[in-house]
Chain A
Amino acid sequence: DQQVKQNSPSLSVQEGRISILNCDYTNSMFDYFLWYKKYPAEGPTFLISISSIKDKNEDGRFTVFLNKSAKHLSLHIVPSQPGDSAVYFCAANSWGKLQFGAGTQVVVTP
Chain B
Amino acid sequence: NAGVTQTPKFQVLKTGQSMTLQCAQDMNHEYMSWYRQDPGMGLRLIHYSVGAGITDQGEVPNGYNVSRSTTEDFPLRLLSAAPSQTSVYFCASSPTQNTEAFFGQGTRLTVV
Contacts and interface: CB of A to CB of B under 8 A. Distances in A.
B27 interface: no
A49 B31 contact: no
Nearest to B6: A43
A96 to B, nearest CB: 3
Nearest to B104: A43
Interface residues of B, number: 27
Interface string B93-112: 01011101111111000000
B12 interface: no
A102 B40 contact: yes
Nearest to A103: B42
Nearest to B103: A43
B42 A100 contact: yes
B98 A96 contact: yes
Nearest to A90: B42
Given A43-B90, A96-B48, 14 more contacts: A43-B92, A43-B104, A43-B106, A44-B43, A46-B102, A91-B42, A91-B43, A93-B98, A97-B45, A97-B59, A98-B33, A99-B42, A101-B42, A102-B42
Interface of B: 4, 31, 33, 35, 40-45, 48, 50, 58-59, 90, 92, 94, 96-98, 100-106
30 contacts: A4-B42, A6-B42, A31-B98, A36-B103, A41-B105, A41-B106, A42-B105, A42-B106, A43-B103, A43-B105, A45-B103, A46-B100, A89-B43, A93-B97, A93-B98, A96-B50, A96-B94, A96-B96, A96-B97, A96-B98, A97-B45, A97-B58, A97-B59, A98-B35, A99-B42, A99-B45, A99-B59, A101-B42, A102-B40, A103-B42
